[in-house]
Structure 1
Amino acid sequence: MRMIHVNGSVAEFHERVIPDDLDAPEVWLFEPAQRSLVLGSAQDPTTARADAASAYGVSVVRRRSGGGAVYVDPLRCLWFDVVLPRSDARWSDDVRESTYWLGEAWMRALRASGFDASLYEGGLEQTPWGRLVCFAALGPGEVLIDGRKAVGISQRRTRAGARFQCIVYDHWDPYDVLDLLELSPEDRLAAASDLAGIATGVGGKLDVVRDAIMQELLGA
């Protein structure tokens, strides 16, 4: 597996395509140029509060994979994509099981970094806020710390392969994303209360976790 460093806008990064002639897995380690709110492919642009995004200096973009909204802060998250060609031995035609190998790598990396990490092997959770906010629900292959979601993974598949997008935060604050979404004040308070303890971050260990997951993916 080889690493490619990418920096720039979140919109440009999402436009990157899996090369048709990809012959080996790649890690695209991404450094976003600014804070962003990333909507899932099925979310309407009006899901985002344009006035709040403008006031906070947050760009609003849409990814090509499904799921809820994700908040991106270059100073507070680790984001990279793993691109896997169909010819790779880790490829699976089962969409649910196809993320397990990556989740297991994350689990080992988090454990090596001192966390009590576990792999979620169930189906996509149906929760009250899961369609709205990515970290409000668990998907196959995602990873928990002390029973709370810590690693978000989305997947996009093409004829050439699969692109797994991974994100981890230093800490989880539901208002980071909720303040950028079109919600009534009552719904925002209810969502924040429900989501406060559902996810977590890695504290001041983002660099430690980055080194550990890269060792898992690139060390061999």
Structure 2
Amino acid sequence: MRLLELTGSIADFHARPIPDDLPEAEAWSYRPPGRGLVLGSAQQESVADLAAAERAGIAVAKRRSGGGAVYVDPARCVWVDVVLPPHDERWSDDVREATYWLGEAWQRALASLGIDTRLYRGGLEQTPWGRLVCFAALGPGEVLVGDRKLVGISQRRTRAGARFQCIAYDRWDAHDVLDLLDLSDADRTAAAADLATRATGVGDHLDALRAAIVAELLGSGRTPVE
């Protein structure tokens, strides 16, 4: 696996295609230029409160992988994508099992920081706000501390391969994302109460976590960077 260190706008990053004829898997370590709200592939832009986002200076973009809305802050999250060609030994045609190896890699990276986790191997969880907010529900291969999501993973599959999009936070605050969505006051209050205990963060370990997951994905002794 080779590493690409990527910057640029959130919209451009999420529009980046899965390369054709990829010779080997790639890890894309992404550092956004500012805060953003990233909507899932099935969500309409109307889900977002565009006026609130503009007032806060937050970019709104859409990704090609599924799931709910995700809040992005370069100071408070680690975002790493993994692109896997079909000929890679880690490939699985089973969409559910396809994420397990990646979740296990995150587990090993987190264990190196002294954080005990477990892997979610169930199907896509159905929760009251799961279609709206990514961290409101669990998906296959995601990593938990106790019953709380710590690493979110979504995927997009094409003939060229699979793109797995991963994010972890320093701390979980449901209002980071809810305050950027077009919700009534009643729905926002209800969602905040439901989401308060569904996720968690890694604390002051973001830099160490980025280094640990990159090292885990590349394997010992391999540090190619673009």
Q: Give the TM-score taking structure 2 as reference length.
A: 0.96
Identity of aligned residues (%): 68
Q: Which amino acid aligns with 1:43?
A: Q
Structure 2 distance, partners of 1:130, 1:169, is 18
1:36 aligns with 36
Q: Name the structure 2 match of 1:126.
A: 126
Task: Supply the RMSD in Å over aligned alpha carbons.
Answer: 0.8
Is 1:165 the equivalent of 2:165?
A: yes
The offset of 1:21, in angstroms, is: 1.7
- Corresponding position of 2:223: none
**Structure 2 residue identity aligned to 1:162:** A
The worse-fitting range, judged by mean Cα deviation, of 10-19 and 125-134 is 10-19
TM superposition shift of 1:147: 2.2
Partner of 1:66: 66
Which stretches of structure 1, 4 residues or longer, exceed 2 Å deviation after superposition?
none
Which position in structure 2 is the counterpart of 1:182? 182
What count of residue pairs does the alignment treat as equivalent? 220
Secondary structure of the equivalent of 1:32?
coil
- The 3-state SS of whatever aligns with 1:28 is strand
The 2-side partners of 1:97 and 1:120 are apart by: 11
C-alpha distance in 1 between matches for 2:106 and 2:30: 17
Q: CA deviation at 1:177?
A: 0.2
In structure 2, stretches of 5+ residues that fail to align are 221-226
Secondary structure at the counterpart of residue 8 of structure 1: coil
- 1:130 shift after superposition: 0.1
> Which residue in 1 is equivalent to 2:108?
108
Bigger Cα displacement from structure 2, 164-173 vs 144-153 = 144-153
Query: Any idea what the Cα deviations from partners look like across 1:149-176, whole Å, max 9, x if unmatched?
Result: 0000010011111000000000000000
In the superposition, the TM-score normalised over structure 1's length comes to 0.98
The SS at the match of 1:67 is coil
Q: After superposition, where does 1:134-153 map in structure 2 within 5 Å? A: 134-153=134-153
Matched with 1:117 is: 117
Q: How many angstroms apart in 2 are the aligned matches of 1:213 and 1:14?
A: 20
Residue in 2 aligned with 1:208?
208
The separation in 2 between residues aligned to 1:17 and 1:138, in whole angstroms, is: 25
Deviation at residue 80 of structure 1 after TM alignment: 1.1
Aligned position for 2:95: 95
SS in 1 for 2:31: strand
Counterpart residue type for residue 79 of structure 2: W
